Amino acid sequence: ETGVTQTPRHLVMGMTNKKSLKCEQHLGHNAMYWYKQSAKKPLELMFVYNFKEQTENNSVPSRFSPECPNSSHLFLHLHTLQPEDSALYLCASSQGQWGQNTEAFFGQGTRLTVV
Amino acid sequence: AQKITQTQPGMFVQEKEAVTLDCTYDTSDQSYGLFWYKQPSSGEMIFLIYQGSYDEQNATEGRYSLNFQKARKSANLVISASQLGDSAMYFCAMREGPAGNQFYFGTGTSLTVIP
């Protein structure tokens, strides 16, 4: 069982819909991430939260809205998406402070298709 | 400049043979960590191995070893005794420390193990 759980695993939505992706981690980590993985492209970091505070926002369009109510949960709210937003969205968590066990643990991803 | 460079888009290896996947990195930090992840077709990113910049010995985890050459800024992954289940995408990543929260990923190498 993975320590990072993402729901849903697959999502098909129209361009006018509003949906949310959920990520939950049970590893006691204090940093959480959203990544976008499109075909033939490297992973793109979207947002980073450290101790519930957003520390990175890599010029992500406002149609993607993150929410981190606590260190264990991370959401990505989606609205008025474009077909080019279709991708695999990966959530990850890690220890926020440098030290041992500093790798990021990933969820299984949400495969999003915008029609 | 790219933080992580993986120059091999695709690699083939015979079952039971060893294979080396290349990774070079770019950082001016003295403290950083290097990671390798495996991504099967299911999409989940699986952590394989970690090397700290101050570690004097190459990291090993079972059949995985990391050939760390600091002066050349390379962190190649060696998989020994390849198995069919090793067929997947492999990503090299770096985290700059001590307070860095970002994980920088390369474009990945697709490994196919041939029976």
**Measuring CA to CA, how many Å separate A16 from each of A81, A99, B111?**
7, 44, 39
pLDDT on residue A112: 96
- Chain A residues touching residue B47 (CB < 8 angstroms): 103-106
**Residue/partner pairs of A65-68 with CB below 8 Å, 24 or more apart:** A66/A34, A68/A32
> What single-letter DSSP state applies at residue A40?
T
Q: Which residue's structure tokens are 């990195």?
A: B25
* pLDDT tier, A73 (very low <50, low <70, confident <90, very high otherwise): very high
Which residues in chain B are closer than 8 Å to A109, comparing Cβ atoms?
Answer: 43-45
Q: Is the model's pLDDT at B1 over the cut of 80?
A: no
| Calpha distance A53→A67 (Å, rounded) | 10
Please tell me the total number of residues recorded for chain B in this structure: 115
The CA distance from B11 to A23, in Å, is 33
Query: Which residue from B4, B44, B93 is facing A108, i.e. has the nearest CB?
Result: B44
How confident is the model at residue B96, as a pLDDT? 83
Query: Which residues make Cβ contacts (< 8 Å) with residue A110, sequence separation at least 6?
Result: A6, A7, A8, A9, A10, A11, A21, A88, A89
Interval B47-106: pLDDT, tens: 999 999 998 899 999 999 999 999 999 999 999 999 999 999 999 999 887 666 778 899
**Residues in A touching B100 (Cβ below 8 Å):** 98
Q: Which residue of A has its CA nearest to B33?
A: A102
Tokens, residue B73? 């800024």
Q: Is B7 left (phi over 0), alpha (psi -120 to 50) or beta?
A: alpha
pLDDT at B43: 87
Q: What is the pLDDT of residue B31?
A: 87
Instruction: Give the model's confidence band at A96: pLDDT under 50 very low, under 70 low, under 90 confident, else very high.
Output: low
* CA-closest candidate to residue A76, choices A51, B104, A85: A85
Q: What would the mean pLDDT of A52-66 be, rounded to a whole number? A: 86
A9's torsion region: left (phi>0), alpha (psi -120 to 50) or beta? Answer: alpha
Rounded Cα distance between A54 and A68, Å, is 8
Residue given tokens 């990113």 in the structure block: B45
pLDDT of residue A78: 96
Take residue B32 and report the two structure tokens written for it.
């950083």
Q: What is the pLDDT of residues A1-32, one digit of tens each?
A: 469 999 999 999 999 999 999 999 989 888 89
Backbone region of residue A69 per phi and psi (left: phi > 0; alpha: psi in -120 to 50; beta: other values):
alpha
Interface-testing mutation among B7, B36, B66, B101, with chain A (most A C-beta atoms within 10 A): B101
